Structure 1
Amino acid sequence: MSEAANYELPTGIVGLKGPIVKPAPGTLPLRGDLAHIALADSFLAAHYVIPKVRQIGDRAATLKIGMRDDADDGVTLDAGSPVELLDQAGDWAWITCGPEGPSGYVRASTLASDSDA
């Protein structure tokens, strides 16, 4: 069974203090609609998520920049690598290695089952 990642949640009033540079795709776990909870003090998103701890299954996995098999490749993670699940839509899972990234999409079947994690 997966458990929540161990992060200190923002406290007090969360607000942005000025313009920021948008990070490159595949780096920080940040999309326009969703971001890792640890980024709430620094980046604006419609929703913030507390990720679920998971791991890559029994084969290495290459993160994709988009939810398509032909999307650009990001980094490759070794089999068994710990990851954080941020979102799942159909066959695709959006994962990250932590609030500093990298982040990207993999087929949900790439992740070890909850009972294996």
Structure 2
Amino acid sequence: MTAQASYSLPEGIVGLTGPVEKPAPGTLPLRGDLAHIALAKHYLAAHYVIPQLRNIGDAPAPLMLAMRDDAEVGATLDAGQEVEVLDCAGDWAWVACGPEGPSGYIRLGMLAASE
């Protein structure tokens, strides 16, 4: 079973009271369709995700800004580092290093096997 990150869920009505500046790609775990649950009180997204905890495998993993091997690398994650998986599509996982980021895409094969 995959471990789940623990965050307090927003209470009451969640809404925005004014314009919000869009963060730079690769920073906060926020896309137009999906966001980390910890960002629900500050950013509007169609869906919010409670992330699943996983670890990077035996080699460092480049954190890509898009789901492409030729995309810009936003950061490099250390071997064994814990990450929060927010979404999977094809061979890619959208991960974050917590609600403050960084966030980006890694190949699923870069994650350690789940226990």
TM-score bin, normalised by smaller chain: over 0.9
The reply to whether residue 65 of structure 1 matches residue 86 of structure 2 is no
Structure 1 segments of 4 or more deviating over 4 A?
Answer: none
Offset at residue 31 of structure 1 (A): 0.2
Aligned to 2:28: 28
CA distance in 2, matches of 1:77, 1:104: 11
**Paired letter, 2:46:** A
CA distance in 1, matches of 2:113, 2:28: 25
**Paired letter, 1:31:** R
CA distance in 2, matches of 1:15, 1:3: 29
Offset at residue 17 of structure 1 (A): 1.3
Q: Cα RMSD between the aligned structures?
A: 0.6
Q: How many residues are paired up?
A: 115
Q: How do residues 35-74 of structure 1 correspond to structure 2 at under 5 angstroms? A: 35-74=35-74
**Paired letter, 1:22:** K
